[in-house]
Chain A
Amino acid sequence: MTVSLIDTLFEGLRIEARRPWRRAIVSRDSWKVASTHLAEGRLSLLGLWGDGSTVNMALLDEEPLDIGVLTLACADGRFPSVGAVHPPAIRLERAVRDLYGLEPEGLPDQRPWLDHGRWGVQHPLGAEPSALPAAVKYSFLPAEGESLHQIPVGPVHAGIIEPGHFRFTANGETVVRLEERLGYVHKGIESLMVGADLERGARLAARTSGDSSVAYGLAFAHAAEAALGLQIPPRAAWLRALMAELERLANHFGDFGAVCNDASFSIMHAQTGVLRERTLRAAAAGFGHRLMMDRVVPGGVAADLAPAGAAQVRELLAEIGRVFPRLVELYDNTASLQDRTVTTGILKPALARQFGAGGYVGRASGRAFDARAATAYPPYDSLKFDVPVLDGGDVNARVWIRIREIEQSVGLIEQILAGLPEGPLRIRAEATNACEGLGLAEGFRGDVLAWLRLDGEGRIARCHLRDPSWFQWPLLEAVIEGNIVADFPLCNKSFNCSYSGHDL
């Protein structure tokens, strides 16, 4: 038997839970050892969150797949910063400090992150929320040199998009530094989760990032079902996958067209807009809601596939088969478009690996992780699909990953429609004792993590939701460096990070 790195971390420790992965309480020294493993690239960070007076980190060992959660009790409200040695943890630790008042010792960035000093309360999830917030003056990181100028953008942007602030420092047309400031759409979802029952929790999860409503529903349901030890009916799992692939198709169509539109190639935007609309209409015919909100619930699914919906999904696949190859050819053969996407915004594979970047951001830069394949949650264990991987890392590669994933999703939907098992849609999901669970689901943007702790009365004691964007936003800052300002929209759209999913 091979011993994984995570095995060595858990050696001699009492396992608090194994739902479905291990969690144990560790000492400060073990916490630091784990941080070193992250810093030296032997493990990836899956998440880092506060819970009462403890701080938790989820670790991923990709080969062979293993996941473990370490919990550290913070004596005096302090813990050794992971971000001090492993930069992907920095923003997560700033958020933990804002929300819980726990102090990451040695954290290189002392500025708040989600807290803009406007909540009227400090450390809202901490043991002692204080009513007197400190006055916040947020200073951006400096960039020094001759002839530099700054371009502040947002939080209200020019398009129909979410709010966030971008501070560009440019030398002429060339971006020297981009710094993001996020948190504008922080809605306090994690505080609303506390005390909610599973049904309300699922509704909140489904509204964490509207474009990934199904993926969040899945991650939350996976966590709840792991906590309760439930095995959902096969038909429910297959219908969930159908919804997840429809969601992926809709978003990838939208992004493909939007990237081209940012290079002023609007015909693609118009054409993919039609495919996206047809996908949403098929979803509405099949499940009664265009974004399929609240259809994935703990214990199964809330709606069966309507017969008319199945027919409309088949029509959709036929239409994609007719139109999409032509659009791909158009993309590939339009020199003016390629001129904008090829070699623009290159994300180096080493950075993608370090940050554990998921989705098309990771897969366009050589990181193959896909929760559907890696954790093989049903029905993906019995479906055939490839996880496309490229290593170019530019806007073009991120477009091509989406194109390939659209093709894969079409194949998956065909398999699902052909093999959809009969049977019940849902089983009761009710917590009678205190328990916890961790869930992962692959959304169109990457892996969504949910960690859930239930009290003895069926209420949520703590739920943490980690959007893939946490590990993608910082990389956007890296890829824009040295590119021209006019290419930022292309880079940004090729990442399409979630503001709401990140800000929570």
Chain B
Amino acid sequence: MRRTLFESLVKSPLTEASPGPDDAALAELAANVECAARRRLGRSLSIREIDAGSCNGCELEIHALNNAFYDLERFGLRFVASPRHADVLMVTGPVTKNMREALQRTYDATPDPKWVVAVGDCAADGGIFSASYAVAGGVHAVVPVDLHIRGCPPSPTQLLKGLLALLAQS
């Protein structure tokens, strides 16, 4: 263990430079979120992740945001264990009918002001699963969405760019 710890001290960090905010995400936020809310958003944010029916591919990439290469916390963004501690809900998956109530209740449990980020193609409109009897649709079918991050799944870099748009002061 000593060698591993020592190397961590003397080697340069793996963490990569910030990719900067995504332009499309900035535009979507500017269109959806009013100015006062945007000023509030430009702070350290606590994120609660909710899988509302995903295949778990998006979860894997959201997880990766915490690894040494992306190191989400350096931007003041962190994942929290309860919606009651959250500013932002990050929702994945087509919302299944079996998860609709759980998503709604999680949203209701999150204190205002709150913002919702829909992650992945399924979260946008149900994606490949949209025609199913078991699927309610995209996240917006159940709770209001402020920002979409597309991809199947979006890469950690895409996720990071979308999240950084939340922090961008505009």
Residues of A within 8 A of B (CB): 116, 118-121, 124, 155-156, 158-163, 183-189, 191-192, 200, 203-204, 207-211, 213, 254, 267, 270-271, 273-274, 276-277, 280, 284, 290-291, 293, 326-327, 330, 333-334, 498-500
Contact = CB atoms under 8 A, between A and B. Distances in A.
Contact of B60 (A187, A274, A291): A291
Contacts of B56: 162, 209-211, 498-500
A503 to B, nearest CB: 8
Given A118-B97, A119-B133, A184-B96, A267 B1 contact: yes
A185 B1 contact: no
B132 interface: yes
B115 interface: no
A161 B81 contact: no
A162 B81 contact: no
A396 to B, nearest CB: 18
B48 to A, nearest CB: 9
Contacts of B59: 160-162, 210
16 contacts: A118-B98, A118-B101, A158-B81, A161-B59, A163-B102, A184-B98, A184-B102, A185-B53, A188-B133, A191-B132, A191-B134, A192-B131, A200-B128, A207-B152, A267-B5, A293-B57
Contacts of B169: none
A183 B79 CA distance: 25
Interface in B89-107: 93-94, 96-102, 106
Nearest to A323: B4
A161 B51 contact: yes
B129 A274 contact: no
CB-based closest 3 A-B pairs: A210-B57, A188-B132, A188-B134
Given A118-B100, A187-B96, A273-B67, A500 B3 contact: no
A119 B97 contact: yes
B58 interface: yes
Contacts of A204: 128
A321 B132 CA distance: 46
Given A158-B81, A210-B58, A270-B68, A185 B93 contact: yes
Contacts of B152: 207, 293
Contacts of B51: 160-163, 185
Contact of B129 (A116, A161, A188, A209): A188
Interface string B118-129: 000000000011
B101 to A, nearest CB: 8
B53 to A, nearest CB: 5
Contacts of B25: none
**Most chain A Cβ neighbours within 10 Å, of B5, B69, B99, B152:** B99
A189 B131 CA distance: 10
Given A116-B98, A185-B99, A293-B57, A160 B4 contact: no
Interface of B: 1, 3-5, 14, 49-64, 66-69, 79, 81-83, 93-94, 96-102, 106, 128-129, 131-135, 152-153, 155
Contact of A207 (B68, B97, B101, B128): B128
A249 to B, nearest CB: 14
Nearest to B58: A210
A284 to B, nearest CB: 8
Contacts of B64: 273, 276-277, 280
Given A280-B64, A293-B152, A498-B56, A156 B102 contact: yes
Given A207-B55, A267-B1, A273 B66 contact: yes
Contact of B96 (A185, A208, A274): A185
B82 to A, nearest CB: 7
Contacts of B132: 187-189, 191-192
Contact of A326 (B4, B60, B68): B4
B66 A186 contact: no
A87 to B, nearest CB: 24
Given A118-B98, A203-B128, A500 B133 contact: no
Nearest to A207: B55
A468 B159 CA distance: 30
A186 B55 contact: no
B133 A121 contact: yes
A187 B61 contact: no
Given A124-B134, A211-B57, A276-B64, 17 more contacts: A119-B134, A158-B81, A161-B51, A163-B50, A184-B53, A185-B96, A188-B132, A188-B133, A211-B56, A267-B5, A270-B67, A273-B68, A274-B67, A277-B68, A291-B60, A500-B54, A500-B55
